[in-house]
Every structure is written in C-alpha cells, then in structure tokens.
Amino acid sequence: MKRRLFNLLASVSLALCLVVVASALLKVILPRGPNLPSFRAGRWACSLDSSNGNFEIRVGHDSAVPDIGPQFAPNPGGQFAPFTYTQAGLDWQEKLPRGAHWRSMGFHFDRNINMEISRTRNFVAVGNVFWIGAPLWPLLALLAILPIIRRSYQMYLRRLMKQGHCPVCAYDLRATPERCPECGAVSAKVAGISN
C-alpha cells in the first residue's frame, strides 16, 4: 500500500513538473500565445501563469453580494480609462480592506480586492483575489525529488534481483531460488515459468 501511494505521488509530481516545464516553454516560444489553463467553480476561479522565470497561481473568490461604490467623474471622450476619481469614490476606496503583499527571493504572495468597473461608471468590489508565485527552478527541484527517488529505488531493486535477492524484502535467495523464506514471495523466474 505504501509503495503504491509513493508511486502515485511520484507520478503526480512528475506530471506537475512536466506541466511547469511545458508552460514555461510555451511562454518563451509564444509570448503572446494562449493563456494557461483556468478553472471556474461557482464563485471560485483559478488560473495558472508562467512568465519571467516565475510560476504563478491566481485564485479569485467573488463575494455573495458585491460592494458597489460611487460613480467616478465622466471623461470628455466618454471612455472609461483614464477616468477621474470623485471625492466620494476616494472615500469609498479608503474604507475597503487593505491588501497584503509579501516578496522575498523571487517568491511572492499578494491579496487584493478584485475591482471592476460597471457600465454605469461605478467601481464594484466583487471579491478577493490571491496571487502565489515562485521561481521555476526551486519548484522544479521540489517536484523532481519524488520521481528521482522512485527511479533510484527501481534501479536498486533491479540490481538486487540480478544479484539473486528477493524483490519484496531484499532477502538473499541464492540458497532458495524458488521462494523467499523470509516473506514467501515467489521468484520472478519461477512465476514466469509456471504461467
């Protein structure tokens, strides 16, 4: 059971490692190409991004009831950007909770209010958005640990089997090559002949 769980975790880790490498290569080859996968479930949204040597996960959560702020002043051209704040809009933004930002050695965490502009020129605080980012090299190193351990263990087992040891418990089978006296496992050579 433990070996199956370890093999499953190693396979998932290898798959994630390949996804990170593929996404980084896609961003290098196609800088303005398609976005990485994004998912939406109810009021939750998640998207992945890879740029500038960083891997980033963005998670958004919409509020059940969005907070609608006052209108901002219209522009002469009637366009949304650039826009002019009104004093009521500035006061409303001051009442919103502040975001949290942390950056160190290429790792970062950001939490902000997700703001949108409505058709009536109102700011709308629709929920929270979180960004978690890391440089690619430590992420790849971390994801590669389990597949490397798994591969080295497989090579170790093959070497033991060639030397005449049991593949289950590594007991020396030179005296009893048909069946392991320690764990009762049937030798691969005998199992292959009887089938």
**Would 26 be classed as within a structural domain?**
no
pTM confidence score = 0.52
What total number of domains does the chain contain?
A: 2
Cβ(169)–Cβ(180) under 8 Å?
yes
Does residue 182 sit in the same domain as residue 125? no
Q: How confident is the model at residue 93 (pLDDT cuts 50, 70, 90)?
A: confident
**Would 13 be classed as within a structural domain?**
no
Does residue 79 sit in the same domain as residue 169? no
Does residue 86 sit in the same domain as residue 128? yes
**Would 148 be classed as within a structural domain?**
no
Centre a 10 Å sphere on the Cβ of residue 17 and count the other Cβ atoms it contains: 19
Q: What string of DSSP letters covers 20-52?
A: HHHHHHHHHH-TTSPPPPEEEETTEEEEEEEET
Average pLDDT over residues 66-78: 73
Q: How confident is the model at residue 194 (pLDDT cuts 50, 70, 90)?
A: very low
Cβ(34)–Cβ(2) under 8 Å?
no
Helix (H, G, I), strand (E, B) or coil at 57: strand
pLDDT of 100-143, one tens digit each? 899 988 888 999 888 887 777 788 888 889 988 888 888 788 88
Residue 86 belongs to domain spanning: 32-135
Comparing 127 with 54, the larger pLDDT belongs to 127
Average pLDDT over residues 153-179: 84
Q: What string of DSSP letters covers 129-191?
A: EEEEEEEHHHHHHHHHHHHHHHHHHHHHHHHHHHTTB-TTT--B-SS-SSB-TTT-PBPHHHH
Does residue 36 sit in the same domain as residue 127? yes
Does residue 95 sit in the same domain as residue 182? no
